Amino acid sequence: MTTQTMPKDQYDEILKEITEFVDKYTQDNISNNANIIITTFDANHDIWFQIVPFMKECKEYAEALMLYCTAIDKQPTYESLQKLSSYISEFESYNLAHHGYRKDLYYSLGITWHHLGRIYDTFAIDAFKKYIFYLLGMSSHTAYSPICYSFRKCTTYLYQSLTLEQLNLSSPCTFNDPFDSPIVSLLDKNDEIAMLIRTAYLDCVKIACFVSNVMLPFQKDRNISGEIVRNKRKQEDNTSEEFQNELMWAHYADYHRGICIKYHFPNSLTSLYSEPGTSVKYFRDVQYKDDLSVLTEKDSITIEDAFFAKSKAWKYENELRLILCDPNSSGLYDSIDIPNCIEAIYFGVNCAKKDIKVIREIMKNREFVTKQESIETRTPVSFYQMEFDSKKFGSLIAKKLQ
């Protein structure tokens, strides 16, 4: 708490009023006292909110606002919900340190808009987008993967992304495995609130999938100089490189007719929450589980289960995901700019000469850039042709092209 511009006795008096207001009511008596709760909060809001900028955690004010939200839900009107929305938005702009309060407030706001009537479900969905945004923001971290791979078919969409130097992301409902993101099926039920959250989720969450044989580093995995240590492989018995994964070539690169892109991402690609209206982007390794059906028996699931769980049948993918959550986005697809992030391109064994020619022409004079402290290094993009290894059946080798 800081009281640089507010006398301590004034701060303590306001805090006491807020605490007494919250302690006066329980879940059992909110319904009978909804009107007095609403009237009291509205009458004191301007005074009570004065201490929010000086509160360390905003716990007491957040609880008072949640109590007010619960009371509004007992007798919702369009005008009262508009006022509640403005209160939450106002609180959101100050309460930068704790996602939990904002998450809970927007979840309650979404439910209350729905209770007002289905014609207001657009407002409910917008509130649930913010709920998901803060839910994901709470689980994010600053670790990122500088090097990872992506297997692609040779299509106009590929050519476009290479030309524009963009990374395409898509909603998990577009994935090829129906069990890929459990939250999709868990929310695909008759419950109206669940369906609204599902709609919000499909609008604001997009994912890009990569391959990385090395476990994602966390901030604690650093050597004495502060550099992240990246030497723990996901499967210790697998010593091949990502671009040598024959199953990935078959399943995702059009049976070796496509390409494999090696990306080298800067730390700036990822972004944690900073202020309202921004997006969250971060990497997480997929966790492979023996039985995903147990998730359907839960009332709630963790972020790891919801967005980063797959069946062990897909373990060979060594999948790494970049998740983007933007509460202001809509639709099934999104893209982000990634200039100078492609280090190499591997052409499949059966990649057509015309596709190789087009891709090399697009990537002509392209460089990938790495930065270490103030030193910037530029290196031309490398090209490789994949071939079957004549000395080891079932293996692939990459030959560098000039």
194 plus 256 within the same structural domain: yes
| CB of 69 closer than 8 Å to CB of 108 | yes
56 plus 109 within the same structural domain: yes
**Residue where a domain stops, chosen among 106, 136, 166:** 136
Tell me, yes or no, whether 173 lies in a domain: yes
Residue with tokens 């340190």: 97
Tell me, yes or no, whether 1 lies in a domain: no
Tell me, yes or no, whether 363 lies in a domain: yes
The token duo for 154 is 């040779």
DSSP E strand boundaries for 265-341: 280-285, 287-289, 309-311, 319-325, 333-337
152 plus 37 within the same structural domain: no
- Give the SS3 label for residue 302: coil
The reported pLDDT for the residue numbered 229 is: 44
Tell me, yes or no, whether 45 lies in a domain: yes
The reported pLDDT for the residue numbered 319 is: 87
179 plus 64 within the same structural domain: no
* Percent of all residues in the chain with a pLDDT value above 90, rounded to a whole number: 53
The reported pLDDT for the residue numbered 213 is: 76
Tell me 372's DSSP state: E
The reported pLDDT for the residue numbered 24 is: 96
Query: Could you give the residue ranges of the DSSP H alpha helices within 176-282?
Result: 182-186, 192-204, 246-252
Tell me, yes or no, whether 344 lies in a domain: yes
- Domain range for 48 is 6-136
Number of domains in the chain: 2
319 plus 252 within the same structural domain: yes
DSSP E strand boundaries for 86-225: 147-152, 166-170, 205-211
- What type of residue sits at position 328? N
pLDDT in tens, 321-361: 898 989 998 888 899 999 999 999 999 999 999 999 999 99
Tell me, yes or no, whether 20 lies in a domain: yes
232 plus 309 within the same structural domain: yes
179 plus 92 within the same structural domain: no
**Residue where a domain stops, chosen among 136, 170, 202:** 136
**Cα–Cα distance between 308 and 235 in angstroms, integer?**
18
242 plus 262 within the same structural domain: yes
164 plus 270 within the same structural domain: yes
**Residue where a domain stops, chosen among 136, 160, 187:** 136
162-167: long-range pairs with CB below 8 Å, 24+: 162/342, 162/359, 162/362, 162/363, 163/362, 164/335, 164/337, 165/337, 165/338, 165/339, 165/340, 165/341, 165/342, 166/335, 166/336, 166/337, 166/338, 167/208, 167/322, 167/335, 167/336, 167/337, 167/338, 167/341
179 plus 74 within the same structural domain: no
Tell me, yes or no, whether 274 lies in a domain: yes
CB atoms within 10 A of CB 105: 27
Weakly modelled stretches of the chain, pLDDT under 50: 1-3, 178, 218-231, 298-300
198 plus 287 within the same structural domain: yes
Tell me, yes or no, whether 336 lies in a domain: yes
| CB of 181 closer than 8 Å to CB of 175 | yes
29 plus 163 within the same structural domain: no
